[in-house]
Amino acid sequence: MSRPPSAPSSSPPPDGRERAPAPGPDGMQWAEIIQQLGAEIAGPLSTALERIHGLINTGQIDRQSLRTLRESVNQAREAGMVGQQLARLASGRLHLSRERLHLTQLLRGVLTHRSRESQARGIQVRQLLKPVEIVGDGALIFSLLNALMDWSLASTQSSIDLRLELTPWPVRARLSCRFANRALDLIDGSRAAEEPSALNSLSWRLVEQTALTMGIQPVREDEAGITVLNLEFPQVVGDEPGFSDPRTDSDSPFADTAPPSGFQPHSGNSKPLAGSHLLIITAEAALQAEIRSAIGHMGLIVDVVSSAEAAVEFCSEGLPHGILYDSSRQGPALQRLRAEVLQELPNFSFVEVQDGAHAPQSSNETADGIARVARAHLAEALPALLGYELARGI
């Protein structure tokens, strides 16, 4: 059984009003995380280097070795991206916003977005979600829900059961995630006592540290091949007696901050750009460099493919949060991809880069719902346009 780590202490808010400071990192925990980050990057890269040396020595590479090389590079890349998100939490400069959030809708939105990925892996995600509203930082909660899916999808050997409900007293919003962490034939075998490495991967560290940053204790139990994680959100919104008030709950990082008028209904604008996934479709290296230069400060995860057909293949195993494409890549394949994606996610973001010097247009300003930006205006217009378009998808 895994015991929850101690929650880091918090410092006073800088202005005592709109935002509460995130708890500071625990030095010992972060030292372990840095060591783990190095191992999870170095291991796959060592495997990739072996394949590269084989290619150099023989001048050829078989399909299996090529697949292993690609998987190893992807594993190292994913570890690096998780490390970037952990570094953001470790900075100690985060301040928590206070928003009224419909946690059930947020979770369902994340599950819908990740449905292709779970289906591609053959994993069923079962849901029992009661309607729950909370007060919290929308950006961090969105990150937490996605990190939870990353970890559980990588760790499960069965289906995933998600349950969202209210506890009787004190009233809390409890999110439970349950799955088998090993194959059924290993549960009673000689390896039954071994804890699968995926359970304590960097993905788990991201779940753990994101929760702790919000003052939430992640309580995880690993017994008899089954893992259960409980996350309790203390700032529940409701009119019934017993519901907690984020301003008076002494355990809340929002205690003694803004008055009731400070609550802001969640409009989707708090979706974190850092860690959002953007797919770029272009065959022009110069344009790719211009786009990367324009959005390099936004903390986005960026993948690039050269054609709409490659984008279709890319999206078959999981969708990014938005697609940015060169207008020269338009055609039947891209139209089919867009129609298919919008059927699943009506607010999914498509942004077209055009030649010329036209004024940027959001998806709300165009007849076909595609946002557009001129190549000449990428540097000054693309970050704001992407920020707006990606926020629509939450």
Residue-level pLDDT at 69: 84
Residue 184 and residue 100: Cα distance in Å, rounded?
A: 41
**Is 215 within 8 Å of 23 (Cβ atoms)?**
yes
Two tokens, residue 95: 């301040």
CA distance 310 to 313: 5
pLDDT of residue 26: 62
Higher local confidence (pLDDT), 139 or 124 = 124
Looking up tokens 């809390």, which residue turns up? Answer: 172
- Mean per-residue pLDDT, 150-167: 94
Top-confidence residue, 169 or 21: 169
C-alpha distances in Å from residue 193, one per residue of 182, 200, 225, 362: 11, 15, 9, 55
Is a pLDDT exceeding 60 seen at residue 11? no
Q: 3-state SS string over 47-95?
A: HHHHHHHHHHHHCCCCHHHHHHHHHHHHHHHHHHHHHHHHHHHHCCCCE
Cα 209 to Cα 218: distance, rounded to the nearest angstrom: 9
Q: What is the mean pLDDT of the chain?
A: 80
To the nearest 10°, report the CA torsion of 113, 118, 124, 126. Answer: -30
> Residue 237: its pLDDT value, please?
85
In this predicted structure, the answer to whether residue 46 has a pLDDT above a threshold of 90 is no
**Could you give the 3-state DSSP secondary structure of residue 119?**
helix
Name residues whose C-beta falls within 8 Å of residue 127's C-beta, 6 or more positions apart in sequence: 108, 111, 162, 163
Nearest Cα residue to 90 out of 206, 4, 204: 206
At 8 the pLDDT is 35
Q: Which residue has the higher pLDDT, 342 or 391?
A: 342
Number of H helices and E strands in the chain, helices first, is 11, 15
206 close to 183: Cβ distance less than 8 angstroms:
no
Q: What is the pTM of this model?
A: 0.72
Split at pLDDT 50, 70, 90, the class of 23 is low
**Range scoring the smallest mean pLDDT among 161-170, 188-197, 231-240, 303-312:** 188-197
Q: How far is it, in rounded angstroms, from Cα 110 to Cα 274?
A: 16
Tokens 């907690």 sit at which residue? 244
82 compared with 160, residue with greater pLDDT: 160
Q: Compute the chain's Rg from CA coordinates.
A: 22
| Residue 322 contacts residue 276 (beta carbons within 8 Å) | yes
User: Stretch 65-76: mean pLDDT, rounded?
Assistant: 83
Can you tell me the mean pLDDT for 364-385?
Answer: 92
Please state, for a pLDDT cut of 70, what percent of the chain lies above it.
80
Tokens found for residue 274: 């850092």
Percent of all residues in the chain with a pLDDT value above 90, rounded to a whole number: 45
Distance CA 211, CA 350 (A): 31
Q: pLDDT tens digits for 258-276?
A: 333 333 333 333 345 666 8
Distance CA 307, CA 328 (A): 10
Across 117-146, average pLDDT: 92
Q: Which of 69-83, 115-129, 144-158, 357-371 has the lowest mean pLDDT?
A: 69-83
Residue 99, phi then psi, degrees to nearest 5: -130, 150
| Choice between 289 and 24, residue whose per-residue pLDDT is larger | 289
| 279-301 pLDDT, tens digit each | 999 999 999 999 999 998 887 88
Task: Return the pLDDT at 165.
Answer: 95
DSSP track, 220-238: EEEETTEEEEEEEE--B--
Over 90: is that where the pLDDT of 317 sits? no
Contact present, 163 and 175 (Cβ < 8 Å): yes
Give the model's pLDDT for residue 163: 97
Tell me the C-alpha to C-alpha distance, in Å, between residue 383 and each of 111, 297, 377: 27, 9, 10
Q: Are 393 and 322 in contact (CB under 8 A)?
A: yes
- Over residues 327-357, the pLDDT tens digits come to 999 899 999 999 999 999 998 999 999 987 7
The average pLDDT across 17-45 equals: 71
Model confidence at 25, in pLDDT bands (50, 70, 90)? low
Per-residue model confidence (pLDDT) at position 279 = 95
pLDDT band at 66 (very low <50, low <70, confident <90, very high): confident
Token reading at 96: 């928590």
> Taking a C-beta distance cutoff of 8 angstroms, is the pair 277, 321 a contact?
yes
Distance CA 328, CA 308 (A): 10
How would residue 134 be classed by pLDDT, with cut points 50, 70 and 90?
very high
What average pLDDT score do residues 60-75 get?
A: 82
